[in-house]
Amino acid sequence: MSSTPEMNKPDPAIAGAVKRYRFMAILAGIMSLLLWFVDLPVAYIFNNENWKANVVWIPFVHGWVYAVYVLTAIQFASKAKWPVVKMLGLILAGTLPVASLVTERKVVSQYS
């Protein structure tokens, strides 16, 4: 049985949720990388107040971005009809620097 172009089209009901999740996953991944590898070393390893003053915004922006990431992950997972455990895994992926970027790739490859 051959596949027709209609069978390979992404579901229009979920396409917007995938785009929103993709954007927020990438942004959350970047902010997490900045938090773990710029802000935290400056604060706890280098202990330089001048440098810390330049990166003080990173934790605040990261916190707001992560909150929006959680909402978009919940929206995507509910539209994709994922079980709660899988949704929690998607939410927790935003807590590690590279995990949100990895899950973003998997979601996009599966739902786009």
Instruction: Kindly report the pTM of this predicted structure.
Output: 0.86
**Residue 64 neighbours by CB under 8 Å, 6+ apart:** none
Q: Residues 8-29: pLDDT tens digits? A: 566 777 999 999 999 999 999 9
pLDDT at 1: 47
Residue 14 near residue 79 (C-beta atoms within 8 A): yes
Structure tokens at 102: 């990895």
Q: Residues 33-43: pLDDT tens digits? A: 999 999 999 98
